[in-house]
């Protein structure tokens, strides 16, 4: 059974760095063709794709936030990570991780999301 679960700080202050973790189960990011993406959704608004990482370590970022994003993975713990630097109120959102497969680029399994609030 494929599951993904996000975790994060809940609340942080402007200018800090947001660190998110996605814990994977039922598949491995060391397996050929597997990838994980991060997507966010401000309350009451739509979905915004942020970044992907693939099994062979290739990374892709949304150009609108590229300079602030770093995606990474740890295959030994079967986790993926996202860091966003210099956060502000506009980064307040629910953050999701989701699985992709190389054969296509849709997200076939999602986590339930973690809410992050940026506030002083």
- Applying CB under 8 A, the residues found at the interface with another protein are 4, 37, 46-49, 60, 62-64, 96, 98, 104-113
CB 22 within 8 A of CB 5: yes
Residue 116: CB atoms within 10 Å: 21
Taking the complex as a whole, the smallest distance from the CB of residue 111 to another protein amounts, in Å, to: 6
Give the residue with the Cβ less far from another protein, 8 or 111. Answer: 111
Instruction: Return d(Cα 91, Cα 14) in angstroms, integer.
Output: 9
Taking the complex as a whole, the smallest distance from the CB of residue 120 to another protein amounts, in Å, to: 29
Taking the complex as a whole, the smallest distance from the CB of residue 15 to another protein amounts, in Å, to: 25
Instruction: Return d(Cα 14, Cα 21) in angstroms, integer.
Output: 20
């Amino acid at each position: 059974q494929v599951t993904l679960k996000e975790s994060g700080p809940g609340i942080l202050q402007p200018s800090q760095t947001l660190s998110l973790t996605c814990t994977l189960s039922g598949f491995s990011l060391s397996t050929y063709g597997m990838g994980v993406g991060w997507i966010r959704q401000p309350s009451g608004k739509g979905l915004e794709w942020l970044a992907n990482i693939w099994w062979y370590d290739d990374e892709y970022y949304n150009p609108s936030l590229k300079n602030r994003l770093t995606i990474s993975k740890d295959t030994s713990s079967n986790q993926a990570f996202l860091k966003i630097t210099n956060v502000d109120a506009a980064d307040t959102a629910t953050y999701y991780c989701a699985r992709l497969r190389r054969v296509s680029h849709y997200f076939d399994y999602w986590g339930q999301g973690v809410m992050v609030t940026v506030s002083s």
